[in-house]
Structure 1
Protein backbone atom coordinates (compact mmCIF):
# COMPACT_ATOMS: atom_id res chain seq x y z
CA UNK A 1 0.00 0.00 0.00
CA UNK A 2 1.45 3.36 -0.98
CA UNK A 3 1.07 6.43 1.14
CA UNK A 4 0.70 10.04 0.11
CA UNK A 5 2.79 12.37 2.21
CA UNK A 6 1.94 16.04 2.02
CA UNK A 7 4.14 18.98 2.96
CA UNK A 8 4.26 20.87 6.21
CA UNK A 9 3.05 24.42 6.63
CA UNK A 10 6.21 26.06 5.30
CA UNK A 11 4.88 25.70 1.76
CA UNK A 12 2.72 28.21 -0.03
CA UNK A 13 -0.94 28.07 -0.97
CA UNK A 14 -1.96 26.14 -4.05
CA UNK A 15 -3.79 29.29 -5.12
CA UNK A 16 -0.51 31.16 -5.58
CA UNK A 17 0.21 31.37 -9.33
CA UNK A 18 3.93 31.51 -8.46
CA UNK A 19 3.77 28.04 -6.91
CA UNK A 20 4.78 24.69 -8.37
CA UNK A 21 3.29 21.38 -7.23
CA UNK A 22 5.92 18.62 -7.27
CA UNK A 23 6.03 14.94 -6.39
CA UNK A 24 8.75 12.39 -5.65
CA UNK A 25 8.05 8.67 -6.09
CA UNK A 26 9.51 6.08 -3.71
CA UNK A 27 8.98 2.46 -4.76
CA UNK A 28 10.22 -1.10 -4.56
CA UNK A 29 11.42 -2.72 -7.77
CA UNK A 30 11.11 -6.11 -9.43
CA UNK A 31 13.32 -8.33 -11.54
CA UNK A 32 10.56 -8.05 -14.14
CA UNK A 33 10.76 -4.70 -15.93
CA UNK A 34 7.06 -4.63 -16.77
CA UNK A 35 6.12 -5.16 -13.12
CA UNK A 36 8.41 -2.35 -11.98
CA UNK A 37 7.07 0.03 -14.62
CA UNK A 38 3.50 -0.89 -13.71
CA UNK A 39 4.31 0.19 -10.13
CA UNK A 40 5.89 3.42 -11.39
CA UNK A 41 2.86 4.17 -13.53
CA UNK A 42 0.42 3.56 -10.68
CA UNK A 43 2.32 5.95 -8.41
CA UNK A 44 2.76 8.55 -11.17
CA UNK A 45 -1.00 8.53 -11.73
CA UNK A 46 -1.54 8.96 -8.00
CA UNK A 47 0.85 11.93 -7.96
CA UNK A 48 -0.91 13.54 -10.93
CA UNK A 49 -4.29 13.01 -9.26
CA UNK A 50 -2.87 14.79 -6.21
CA UNK A 51 -2.13 17.80 -8.43
CA UNK A 52 1.57 17.34 -9.16
CA UNK A 53 2.83 19.21 -12.21
CA UNK A 54 6.35 17.78 -11.92
CA UNK A 55 6.87 14.12 -10.97
CA UNK A 56 10.30 12.62 -10.28
CA UNK A 57 11.07 8.90 -10.24
CA UNK A 58 14.02 7.24 -8.49
CA UNK A 59 17.19 5.96 -10.14
CA UNK A 60 16.88 2.78 -12.28
CA UNK A 61 13.24 2.31 -11.27
CA UNK A 62 12.51 -0.21 -14.04
CA UNK A 63 14.80 -2.94 -12.69
CA UNK A 64 16.40 -4.29 -9.58
CA UNK A 65 19.65 -2.54 -8.68
CA UNK A 66 21.84 -4.84 -10.77
CA UNK A 67 25.16 -3.20 -9.84
CA UNK A 68 25.61 -5.35 -6.74
CA UNK A 69 27.64 -7.69 -8.93
CA UNK A 70 29.46 -7.67 -12.28
CA UNK A 71 27.64 -9.74 -14.90
CA UNK A 72 27.88 -9.18 -18.66
CA UNK A 73 24.40 -10.68 -19.14
CA UNK A 74 22.94 -7.63 -17.40
CA UNK A 75 23.75 -5.46 -20.42
CA UNK A 76 20.71 -7.08 -22.07
CA UNK A 77 18.58 -4.85 -19.81
CA UNK A 78 19.90 -1.69 -21.48
CA UNK A 79 17.70 0.20 -23.95
CA UNK A 80 18.25 2.84 -26.61
CA UNK A 81 16.56 6.23 -26.45
CA UNK A 82 13.86 6.17 -27.68
CA UNK A 83 13.08 2.69 -26.43
CA UNK A 84 10.31 0.82 -24.61
CA UNK A 85 10.77 2.49 -21.21
CA UNK A 86 11.21 6.01 -22.56
CA UNK A 87 8.21 5.62 -24.85
CA UNK A 88 6.03 4.45 -21.95
CA UNK A 89 7.11 7.39 -19.79
CA UNK A 90 6.60 9.78 -22.69
CA UNK A 91 3.04 8.54 -23.20
CA UNK A 92 2.29 8.98 -19.48
CA UNK A 93 3.61 12.54 -19.44
CA UNK A 94 1.46 13.38 -22.47
CA UNK A 95 -1.70 11.70 -21.14
CA UNK A 96 -1.43 13.28 -17.67
CA UNK A 97 -0.09 16.66 -18.82
CA UNK A 98 2.87 16.56 -16.43
CA UNK A 99 6.62 17.05 -16.65
CA UNK A 100 8.10 13.66 -15.78
CA UNK A 101 11.67 12.75 -14.80
CA UNK A 102 12.46 9.07 -15.30
CA UNK A 103 15.52 6.82 -15.41
CA UNK A 104 16.88 4.30 -17.91
CA UNK A 105 19.89 2.04 -18.34
CA UNK A 106 20.82 3.55 -21.69
CA UNK A 107 22.49 1.69 -24.53
CA UNK A 108 24.09 4.53 -26.46
CA UNK A 109 26.08 2.28 -28.80
CA UNK A 110 27.90 -1.04 -28.69
CA UNK A 111 30.08 -0.94 -25.57
CA UNK A 112 28.85 2.46 -24.35
CA UNK A 113 26.12 2.42 -21.71
CA UNK A 114 24.92 5.18 -19.41
CA UNK A 115 22.85 5.70 -16.27
CA UNK A 116 20.54 8.29 -17.75
CA UNK A 117 17.80 10.55 -16.41
CA UNK A 118 15.17 11.58 -18.96
CA UNK A 119 12.93 14.66 -18.73
CA UNK A 120 9.63 14.58 -20.61
CA UNK A 121 7.51 17.64 -21.30
CA UNK A 122 3.75 17.84 -20.81
CA UNK A 123 3.23 16.92 -24.47
CA UNK A 124 5.41 13.82 -24.13
CA UNK A 125 8.38 15.25 -26.00
CA UNK A 126 11.87 14.66 -24.64
CA UNK A 127 12.88 18.00 -23.10
CA UNK A 128 16.38 16.78 -22.29
CA UNK A 129 18.49 14.17 -20.61
CA UNK A 130 21.32 13.90 -18.11
CA UNK A 131 23.89 11.11 -18.09
CA UNK A 132 25.30 10.40 -14.64
CA UNK A 133 28.71 12.03 -14.32
CA UNK A 134 30.13 10.58 -11.08
CA UNK A 135 30.25 6.79 -11.25
CA UNK A 136 30.94 4.85 -8.00
CA UNK A 137 32.80 1.58 -7.69
CA UNK A 138 32.36 0.30 -4.16
CA UNK A 139 31.39 -3.07 -2.64
CA UNK A 140 27.79 -3.61 -3.71
CA UNK A 141 27.84 -0.60 -6.06
CA UNK A 142 29.95 -1.74 -9.02
CA UNK A 143 28.68 0.89 -11.40
CA UNK A 144 31.93 1.49 -13.30
CA UNK A 145 31.50 -1.98 -14.80
CA UNK A 146 28.22 -0.90 -16.41
CA UNK A 147 28.19 2.86 -16.92
CA UNK A 148 30.29 5.25 -18.96
CA UNK A 149 30.37 8.70 -17.32
CA UNK A 150 28.33 11.42 -18.99
CA UNK A 151 30.08 13.69 -21.46
CA UNK A 152 31.97 16.59 -19.91
CA UNK A 153 30.85 18.55 -22.95
CA UNK A 154 28.22 17.89 -25.60
CA UNK A 155 28.92 18.34 -29.31
CA UNK A 156 27.26 21.75 -29.22
CA UNK A 157 29.58 22.93 -26.43
CA UNK A 158 27.16 22.57 -23.53
CA UNK A 159 28.57 21.22 -20.29
CA UNK A 160 27.47 17.83 -19.03
CA UNK A 161 26.16 19.79 -16.04
CA UNK A 162 23.51 21.62 -18.08
CA UNK A 163 19.99 22.01 -16.66
CA UNK A 164 16.94 21.07 -18.70
CA UNK A 165 14.48 23.77 -19.75
CA UNK A 166 10.84 22.79 -19.20
CA UNK A 167 7.43 24.42 -18.93
CA UNK A 168 7.60 24.10 -15.12
CA UNK A 169 11.06 25.60 -14.79
CA UNK A 170 14.74 24.93 -15.35
CA UNK A 171 15.64 21.57 -13.81
CA UNK A 172 19.12 20.76 -12.52
CA UNK A 173 18.92 16.98 -12.86
CA UNK A 174 21.74 14.94 -11.32
CA UNK A 175 21.84 11.25 -10.33
CA UNK A 176 22.62 9.53 -7.01
CA UNK A 177 26.43 9.58 -6.47
CA UNK A 178 26.42 13.10 -7.97
CA UNK A 179 24.57 14.21 -4.83
CA UNK A 180 27.75 14.04 -2.74
CA UNK A 181 29.59 16.59 -4.91
CA UNK A 182 29.03 20.31 -4.23
CA UNK A 183 30.67 21.14 -7.57
CA UNK A 184 27.87 19.46 -9.51
CA UNK A 185 25.13 21.32 -7.64
CA UNK A 186 26.96 24.64 -7.99
CA UNK A 187 27.53 24.21 -11.72
CA UNK A 188 23.82 23.50 -12.20
CA UNK A 189 22.94 26.57 -10.12
CA UNK A 190 25.34 28.78 -12.08
CA UNK A 191 23.73 27.55 -15.32
CA UNK A 192 20.33 28.75 -14.12
CA UNK A 193 18.78 25.69 -12.47
CA UNK A 194 15.69 26.53 -10.43
CA UNK A 195 15.45 23.08 -8.79
CA UNK A 196 18.01 20.40 -7.96
CA UNK A 197 16.79 16.87 -8.63
CA UNK A 198 18.55 13.69 -7.45
CA UNK A 199 17.03 10.35 -8.53
CA UNK A 200 18.69 7.88 -6.13
CA UNK A 201 19.33 4.22 -5.33
CA UNK A 202 21.18 4.05 -2.01
CA UNK A 203 20.94 1.77 0.97
CA UNK A 204 22.66 -0.12 3.75
CA UNK A 205 24.93 -3.13 3.69
CA UNK A 206 22.96 -5.72 5.63
CA UNK A 207 25.87 -6.11 8.07
CA UNK A 208 25.86 -2.41 9.08
CA UNK A 209 24.84 -1.91 12.69
CA UNK A 210 22.17 0.63 13.67
CA UNK A 211 24.64 3.36 14.61
CA UNK A 212 26.38 3.12 11.24
CA UNK A 213 23.05 3.09 9.42
CA UNK A 214 21.97 6.26 11.21
CA UNK A 215 25.26 7.99 10.40
CA UNK A 216 25.01 7.12 6.71
CA UNK A 217 21.38 8.17 6.38
CA UNK A 218 21.97 11.43 8.23
CA UNK A 219 24.96 12.21 5.99
CA UNK A 220 22.88 11.56 2.86
CA UNK A 221 20.07 13.89 3.92
CA UNK A 222 22.43 16.53 5.29
CA UNK A 223 24.66 16.84 2.24
CA UNK A 224 21.69 17.39 -0.09
CA UNK A 225 20.09 19.88 2.26
CA UNK A 226 23.47 21.59 2.24
CA UNK A 227 23.33 21.89 -1.56
CA UNK A 228 19.90 23.47 -1.19
CA UNK A 229 21.25 25.99 1.32
CA UNK A 230 24.49 26.78 -0.52
CA UNK A 231 22.67 27.39 -3.81
CA UNK A 232 19.35 28.72 -2.47
CA UNK A 233 17.46 26.07 -4.44
CA UNK A 234 14.79 23.47 -3.60
CA UNK A 235 15.86 19.82 -3.78
CA UNK A 236 13.82 16.76 -4.80
CA UNK A 237 15.46 13.45 -3.84
CA UNK A 238 13.47 10.22 -4.48
CA UNK A 239 15.17 7.02 -3.28
CA UNK A 240 14.16 3.40 -3.75
CA UNK A 241 13.05 1.18 -0.89
CA UNK A 242 13.05 -2.53 -0.12
CA UNK A 243 15.69 -5.22 0.35
CA UNK A 244 17.28 -6.60 -2.81
CA UNK A 245 19.46 -9.74 -2.71
CA UNK A 246 22.98 -9.92 -4.12
CA UNK A 247 22.68 -12.15 -7.22
CA UNK A 248 26.24 -13.40 -6.71
CA UNK A 249 25.53 -14.55 -3.16
CA UNK A 250 28.73 -12.89 -1.95
CA UNK A 251 26.82 -10.60 0.38
CA UNK A 252 23.43 -10.41 2.06
CA UNK A 253 22.28 -7.73 -0.38
CA UNK A 254 21.26 -4.11 0.15
CA UNK A 255 18.42 -2.67 2.16
CA UNK A 256 17.53 0.53 0.33
CA UNK A 257 16.72 3.09 2.97
CA UNK A 258 13.97 5.13 1.32
CA UNK A 259 13.65 8.43 3.20
CA UNK A 260 12.89 10.26 -0.03
CA UNK A 261 12.46 13.95 0.65
CA UNK A 262 11.71 17.37 -0.76
CA UNK A 263 13.27 20.43 0.81
CA UNK A 264 13.13 24.17 0.23
CA UNK A 265 15.95 26.59 -0.62
CA UNK A 266 17.02 26.95 3.02
CA UNK A 267 17.15 23.18 3.46
CA UNK A 268 13.79 23.09 5.23
CA UNK A 269 12.08 19.71 4.89
CA UNK A 270 8.77 20.01 3.05
CA UNK A 271 7.98 16.30 2.81
CA UNK A 272 9.82 13.11 3.76
CA UNK A 273 9.03 9.41 3.50
CA UNK A 274 9.90 6.61 5.88
CA UNK A 275 12.59 3.99 5.38
CA UNK A 276 10.23 1.38 3.98
CA UNK A 277 7.17 1.18 1.79
CA UNK A 278 5.97 3.00 -1.27
CA UNK A 279 5.29 6.70 -1.00
CA UNK A 280 4.12 9.57 -3.15
CA UNK A 281 5.64 12.71 -1.66
CA UNK A 282 3.98 15.96 -2.66
CA UNK A 283 4.98 19.52 -1.89
CA UNK A 284 4.28 22.99 -3.16
CA UNK A 285 7.29 25.12 -3.99
CA UNK A 286 7.26 28.91 -4.15
CA UNK A 287 9.01 29.80 -7.40
CA UNK A 288 9.96 33.28 -6.15
CA UNK A 289 11.55 32.23 -2.88
CA UNK A 290 15.03 31.41 -4.21
CA UNK A 291 15.38 34.94 -5.57
CA UNK A 292 14.16 36.46 -2.31
CA UNK A 293 16.65 34.41 -0.29
CA UNK A 294 19.54 35.23 -2.63
CA UNK A 295 18.97 38.91 -1.91
CA UNK A 296 19.74 38.41 1.78
CA UNK A 297 22.09 35.40 1.58
CA UNK A 298 24.10 36.35 -1.55
CA UNK A 299 26.47 33.39 -1.75
CA UNK A 300 26.74 33.66 -5.51
CA UNK A 301 27.60 37.36 -5.34
CA UNK A 302 30.40 36.84 -2.83
CA UNK A 303 32.13 33.91 -4.50
CA UNK A 304 35.88 34.52 -5.01
CA UNK A 305 36.15 33.07 -8.47
CA UNK A 306 39.60 34.64 -8.81
CA UNK A 307 40.87 32.40 -5.99
CA UNK A 308 39.37 29.01 -6.85
CA UNK A 309 41.72 27.87 -9.62
CA UNK A 310 43.15 25.02 -7.55
CA UNK A 311 39.76 23.33 -7.56
CA UNK A 312 40.67 22.10 -11.04
CA UNK A 313 43.61 20.15 -9.63
CA UNK A 314 43.35 16.60 -8.33
CA UNK A 315 45.62 17.45 -5.36
CA UNK A 316 47.08 20.74 -4.18
CA UNK A 317 50.85 20.54 -3.82
Structure 2
Protein backbone atom coordinates (compact mmCIF):
# COMPACT_ATOMS: atom_id res chain seq x y z
CA UNK A 1 0.00 0.00 0.00
CA UNK A 2 1.16 3.53 -0.73
CA UNK A 3 -0.18 5.38 2.29
CA UNK A 4 0.39 4.28 5.88
CA UNK A 5 -0.50 5.85 9.21
CA UNK A 6 2.30 5.89 11.79
CA UNK A 7 1.95 6.77 15.45
CA UNK A 8 4.61 8.46 17.57
CA UNK A 9 4.24 7.78 21.30
CA UNK A 10 6.14 10.45 23.25
CA UNK A 11 5.76 10.00 27.01
CA UNK A 12 7.53 10.32 30.35
CA UNK A 13 8.51 7.28 32.41
CA UNK A 14 8.58 6.30 36.08
CA UNK A 15 10.70 3.93 38.14
CA UNK A 16 8.22 1.04 38.07
CA UNK A 17 8.71 -1.17 35.01
CA UNK A 18 5.20 -2.64 34.97
CA UNK A 19 3.61 0.81 35.16
CA UNK A 20 5.58 1.92 32.12
CA UNK A 21 4.61 -1.20 30.17
CA UNK A 22 0.95 -0.72 31.08
CA UNK A 23 1.14 2.91 29.97
CA UNK A 24 2.71 1.90 26.66
CA UNK A 25 -0.06 -0.62 26.04
CA UNK A 26 -2.71 2.03 26.69
CA UNK A 27 -0.94 4.38 24.29
CA UNK A 28 -0.85 1.67 21.62
CA UNK A 29 -4.62 1.27 22.04
CA UNK A 30 -5.07 5.04 21.85
CA UNK A 31 -2.99 5.21 18.68
CA UNK A 32 -4.96 2.36 17.11
CA UNK A 33 -8.22 4.14 17.93
CA UNK A 34 -6.86 7.15 16.00
CA UNK A 35 -6.23 4.96 12.96
CA UNK A 36 -2.58 4.08 13.42
CA UNK A 37 -1.18 1.11 11.52
CA UNK A 38 2.40 1.28 12.82
CA UNK A 39 3.14 2.44 16.38
CA UNK A 40 6.66 3.44 17.42
CA UNK A 41 7.51 3.63 21.12
CA UNK A 42 10.49 5.57 22.46
CA UNK A 43 13.84 4.08 23.44
CA UNK A 44 13.85 1.92 26.61
CA UNK A 45 10.23 2.80 27.35
CA UNK A 46 9.79 0.31 30.22
CA UNK A 47 12.08 2.24 32.59
CA UNK A 48 13.62 5.53 33.47
CA UNK A 49 16.72 6.22 31.42
CA UNK A 50 19.03 4.29 33.76
CA UNK A 51 22.25 4.96 31.84
CA UNK A 52 22.70 8.24 33.69
CA UNK A 53 24.68 6.23 36.28
CA UNK A 54 26.86 3.13 36.32
CA UNK A 55 24.94 0.90 38.70
CA UNK A 56 24.98 -2.90 38.59
CA UNK A 57 21.46 -3.02 40.04
CA UNK A 58 20.13 -1.67 36.76
CA UNK A 59 20.99 -4.89 34.97
CA UNK A 60 17.96 -6.37 36.73
CA UNK A 61 15.78 -4.29 34.38
CA UNK A 62 16.84 -6.40 31.39
CA UNK A 63 14.80 -9.25 29.92
CA UNK A 64 14.87 -11.78 27.11
CA UNK A 65 13.61 -10.85 23.65
CA UNK A 66 11.19 -12.41 22.87
CA UNK A 67 10.09 -12.28 26.50
CA UNK A 68 7.49 -10.85 28.88
CA UNK A 69 7.22 -7.40 27.31
CA UNK A 70 7.05 -8.63 23.73
CA UNK A 71 4.42 -11.17 24.76
CA UNK A 72 2.23 -8.46 26.29
CA UNK A 73 2.69 -6.18 23.29
CA UNK A 74 1.97 -9.01 20.85
CA UNK A 75 -1.45 -9.45 22.40
CA UNK A 76 -2.43 -5.81 22.03
CA UNK A 77 -0.94 -5.64 18.51
CA UNK A 78 -3.10 -8.57 17.41
CA UNK A 79 -6.20 -7.22 19.13
CA UNK A 80 -5.90 -3.85 17.41
CA UNK A 81 -4.27 -4.85 14.10
CA UNK A 82 -1.22 -2.64 14.52
CA UNK A 83 2.50 -3.11 14.02
CA UNK A 84 4.51 -2.13 17.11
CA UNK A 85 8.15 -1.04 17.36
CA UNK A 86 9.24 -1.70 20.95
CA UNK A 87 12.64 -0.64 22.32
CA UNK A 88 13.81 -2.81 25.25
CA UNK A 89 16.81 -3.65 27.45
CA UNK A 90 17.77 -7.14 26.31
CA UNK A 91 19.47 -9.80 28.44
CA UNK A 92 20.99 -12.08 25.86
CA UNK A 93 22.76 -14.33 28.35
CA UNK A 94 24.66 -13.98 31.60
CA UNK A 95 26.90 -10.93 31.26
CA UNK A 96 25.80 -9.92 27.74
CA UNK A 97 23.18 -7.19 27.37
CA UNK A 98 21.98 -5.15 24.42
CA UNK A 99 19.93 -2.05 23.66
CA UNK A 100 17.43 -3.74 21.37
CA UNK A 101 14.25 -2.97 19.48
CA UNK A 102 11.71 -5.71 18.78
CA UNK A 103 9.17 -5.52 15.96
CA UNK A 104 5.72 -7.06 16.36
CA UNK A 105 3.50 -7.49 13.29
CA UNK A 106 -0.18 -6.61 13.17
CA UNK A 107 -1.23 -10.21 13.83
CA UNK A 108 0.89 -10.33 16.98
CA UNK A 109 3.77 -12.22 15.35
CA UNK A 110 7.26 -11.43 16.58
CA UNK A 111 9.08 -10.38 13.38
CA UNK A 112 12.59 -9.89 14.76
CA UNK A 113 14.92 -7.47 16.49
CA UNK A 114 17.63 -4.91 15.87
CA UNK A 115 20.47 -4.40 18.33
CA UNK A 116 21.86 -0.88 18.64
CA UNK A 117 25.15 -0.65 16.77
CA UNK A 118 26.61 2.66 17.98
CA UNK A 119 26.98 2.87 21.76
CA UNK A 120 27.75 6.26 23.35
CA UNK A 121 29.69 7.03 26.48
CA UNK A 122 29.18 10.59 27.67
CA UNK A 123 28.32 12.25 30.97
CA UNK A 124 24.85 10.99 31.97
CA UNK A 125 24.80 8.64 28.96
CA UNK A 126 27.03 5.79 30.16
CA UNK A 127 25.71 3.22 27.72
CA UNK A 128 28.99 1.38 27.22
CA UNK A 129 28.70 0.21 30.84
CA UNK A 130 25.47 -1.62 30.01
CA UNK A 131 25.29 -2.46 26.32
CA UNK A 132 27.31 -4.75 24.11
CA UNK A 133 27.39 -3.30 20.56
CA UNK A 134 24.91 -4.90 18.20
CA UNK A 135 26.07 -7.88 16.17
CA UNK A 136 23.03 -8.52 13.98
CA UNK A 137 24.00 -5.86 11.46
CA UNK A 138 21.49 -3.43 10.03
CA UNK A 139 18.00 -4.79 9.57
CA UNK A 140 14.77 -4.25 7.71
CA UNK A 141 11.41 -5.62 8.80
CA UNK A 142 8.71 -6.65 6.34
CA UNK A 143 5.36 -6.12 8.05
CA UNK A 144 1.72 -6.00 7.04
CA UNK A 145 1.74 -2.26 6.39
CA UNK A 146 5.30 -1.40 5.32
CA UNK A 147 8.90 -2.53 5.09
CA UNK A 148 11.00 -0.38 7.39
CA UNK A 149 14.31 -0.12 9.17
CA UNK A 150 14.89 0.61 12.85
CA UNK A 151 17.94 2.43 14.19
CA UNK A 152 18.31 3.51 17.81
CA UNK A 153 19.21 6.92 19.26
CA UNK A 154 23.03 7.32 18.90
CA UNK A 155 22.71 5.55 15.53
CA UNK A 156 20.96 8.75 14.43
CA UNK A 157 24.22 10.58 13.97
CA UNK A 158 25.71 8.14 11.48
CA UNK A 159 24.82 8.52 7.78
CA UNK A 160 26.36 5.11 7.08
CA UNK A 161 23.69 3.39 9.19
CA UNK A 162 20.84 5.22 7.45
CA UNK A 163 22.35 4.58 4.01
CA UNK A 164 22.86 0.85 4.51
CA UNK A 165 19.39 0.37 5.97
CA UNK A 166 17.87 2.29 3.06
CA UNK A 167 19.85 0.28 0.52
CA UNK A 168 18.42 -2.88 2.09
CA UNK A 169 14.95 -1.71 1.09
CA UNK A 170 13.62 0.28 4.03
CA UNK A 171 10.67 2.46 3.06
CA UNK A 172 10.78 4.30 6.40
CA UNK A 173 13.56 4.83 8.95
CA UNK A 174 12.34 4.72 12.57
CA UNK A 175 14.52 6.08 15.38
CA UNK A 176 13.40 5.28 18.96
CA UNK A 177 15.30 7.76 21.12
CA UNK A 178 16.15 8.96 24.62
CA UNK A 179 17.99 12.26 24.50
CA UNK A 180 17.74 15.45 26.51
CA UNK A 181 19.27 18.62 27.86
CA UNK A 182 21.26 19.09 31.03
CA UNK A 183 19.18 21.54 33.05
CA UNK A 184 22.35 23.53 33.79
CA UNK A 185 22.68 24.51 30.12
CA UNK A 186 21.67 27.87 28.65
CA UNK A 187 18.88 28.17 26.09
CA UNK A 188 21.23 28.85 23.17
CA UNK A 189 23.07 25.58 23.80
CA UNK A 190 19.78 23.72 24.12
CA UNK A 191 18.56 25.05 20.78
CA UNK A 192 21.84 24.27 19.06
CA UNK A 193 21.79 20.68 20.28
CA UNK A 194 18.19 20.01 19.33
CA UNK A 195 18.59 21.61 15.92
CA UNK A 196 21.67 19.51 15.19
CA UNK A 197 19.83 16.35 16.27
CA UNK A 198 16.86 17.07 14.03
CA UNK A 199 18.97 18.31 11.11
CA UNK A 200 21.13 15.19 10.87
CA UNK A 201 18.05 12.98 10.75
CA UNK A 202 16.32 15.13 8.17
CA UNK A 203 19.49 14.86 6.11
CA UNK A 204 19.14 11.06 6.18
CA UNK A 205 15.67 11.51 4.70
CA UNK A 206 17.03 13.70 1.91
CA UNK A 207 20.09 11.58 1.10
CA UNK A 208 18.08 8.36 0.95
CA UNK A 209 14.71 9.56 -0.27
CA UNK A 210 12.76 7.98 2.60
CA UNK A 211 10.53 9.17 5.43
CA UNK A 212 12.19 9.45 8.84
CA UNK A 213 10.23 9.01 12.07
CA UNK A 214 12.01 9.92 15.31
CA UNK A 215 10.36 9.28 18.70
CA UNK A 216 11.84 10.73 21.91
CA UNK A 217 10.77 10.78 25.56
CA UNK A 218 9.89 13.82 27.68
CA UNK A 219 10.19 14.76 31.32
CA UNK A 220 12.77 15.33 34.04
CA UNK A 221 14.98 12.49 35.19
CA UNK A 222 18.20 12.18 37.21
CA UNK A 223 16.59 14.07 40.09
CA UNK A 224 15.83 16.96 37.76
CA UNK A 225 19.34 17.26 36.29
CA UNK A 226 18.24 16.08 32.85
CA UNK A 227 15.21 17.14 30.82
CA UNK A 228 14.40 14.88 27.91
CA UNK A 229 13.57 17.20 25.07
CA UNK A 230 10.72 15.42 23.31
CA UNK A 231 10.47 17.08 19.92
CA UNK A 232 9.54 13.83 18.17
CA UNK A 233 9.00 14.40 14.46
CA UNK A 234 8.28 13.02 11.01
CA UNK A 235 10.25 14.15 7.96
CA UNK A 236 9.24 13.53 4.37
CA UNK A 237 11.84 12.20 1.86
CA UNK A 238 13.12 15.71 1.15
CA UNK A 239 13.59 16.79 4.75
CA UNK A 240 10.34 18.70 5.13
CA UNK A 241 8.75 18.39 8.57
CA UNK A 242 5.30 16.83 8.42
CA UNK A 243 4.93 16.85 12.20
CA UNK A 244 6.88 17.95 15.26
CA UNK A 245 5.90 17.34 18.88
CA UNK A 246 6.37 19.75 21.77
CA UNK A 247 9.41 19.64 24.04
CA UNK A 248 7.57 18.99 27.29
CA UNK A 249 4.18 17.34 26.67
CA UNK A 250 3.19 13.72 26.33
CA UNK A 251 1.73 13.15 22.88
CA UNK A 252 0.33 10.22 20.91
CA UNK A 253 0.06 11.48 17.36
CA UNK A 254 -0.86 9.67 14.15
CA UNK A 255 0.67 10.92 10.90
CA UNK A 256 -0.18 9.65 7.43
CA UNK A 257 2.78 9.25 5.11
CA UNK A 258 2.81 8.41 1.43
CA UNK A 259 5.45 5.82 0.58
CA UNK A 260 5.10 6.62 -3.12
CA UNK A 261 6.93 9.87 -2.42
CA UNK A 262 10.18 7.90 -2.31
CA UNK A 263 10.08 7.06 -6.01
CA UNK A 264 9.10 10.62 -6.91
CA UNK A 265 11.92 12.25 -4.94
CA UNK A 266 14.53 9.66 -5.98
CA UNK A 267 13.59 10.22 -9.63
CA UNK A 268 13.72 14.01 -9.53
CA UNK A 269 16.74 14.17 -7.20
CA UNK A 270 18.68 11.06 -8.30
CA UNK A 271 21.20 10.83 -5.49
CA UNK A 272 20.89 7.05 -5.50
CA UNK A 273 21.53 6.86 -9.24
CA UNK A 274 24.66 9.00 -9.08
CA UNK A 275 26.40 7.26 -6.20
CA UNK A 276 30.03 6.42 -7.08
CA UNK A 277 30.20 3.10 -5.31
CA UNK A 278 33.59 2.40 -6.90
CA UNK A 279 35.10 5.28 -4.89
CA UNK A 280 33.78 4.60 -1.39
CA UNK A 281 36.26 2.03 -0.07
CA UNK A 282 38.04 4.60 2.18
CA UNK A 283 34.88 4.87 4.30
CA UNK A 284 35.80 1.56 5.92
CA UNK A 285 38.91 3.13 7.50
CA UNK A 286 38.91 4.75 10.95
CA UNK A 287 40.89 7.72 9.59
CA UNK A 288 42.79 8.38 6.38
CA UNK A 289 46.38 9.40 7.06
CA UNK A 290 48.22 11.37 4.40
CA UNK A 291 51.01 8.79 4.17
TM value normalised by structure 2:
0.97
Structure-2 separation of matches of 1:241 and 1:147: 22
Does the 8 A contact of 1:22 with 1:54 survive in 2? yes
- Give the drift of 1:36: 1.0
What is the DSSP-based 3-state SS (H/G/I as helix, E as strand, rest coil) of the residue aligned with 1:138? coil
Is residue 229 of structure 2 the alignment partner of residue 257 of structure 1? yes
Structure-2 separation of matches of 1:275 and 1:196: 22
Q: Which has the higher contact order (CA 8 A, sep 6+)?
A: 1
- Give the drift of 1:93: 0.7
Structure-2 separation of matches of 1:98 and 1:54: 6
- Give the drift of 1:45: 1.1
What is the number of residues matched between the two proteins? 289
Which of 180, 185, 188 in structure 1 is aligned with 2:157? 180
Structure-2 separation of matches of 1:211 and 1:39: 33
Deviations for 1:21-70, whole angstroms, at most 9, x for unmatched residues? 11110000010011111221221111100100001000000000000000
Deviations for 1:219-262, whole angstroms, at most 9, x for unmatched residues? 1111111100110000110100000025xxxxx52100000111
- Give the drift of 1:128: 1.6
Please show how residues 1-317 of structure 1 align to structure 2 within 5 Å. 18-151=2-135, 154=136, 160-245=137-222, 253-317=225-289
Structure-1 separation of matches of 2:21 and 2:143: 24
What is the DSSP-based 3-state SS (H/G/I as helix, E as strand, rest coil) of the residue aligned with 1:91? helix
TM value normalised by structure 1:
0.89
Does the 8 A contact of 2:54 with 2:129 survive in 1? yes
Structure-2 separation of matches of 1:308 and 1:18: 33
**Alpha carbon RMSD of aligned pairs, Å?**
1.0
Comparing 36-45 with 194-203, greater Cα deviation is found at 36-45
Does the 8 A contact of 1:202 with 1:257 survive in 2? yes
Structure-2 separation of matches of 1:104 and 1:96: 21
Q: Which runs of 4+ in 1 moved over 3 A?
A: none
- Give the drift of 1:267: 1.2
Which residues of structure 1 form unaligned runs of 5+? 1-16, 155-159, 247-251
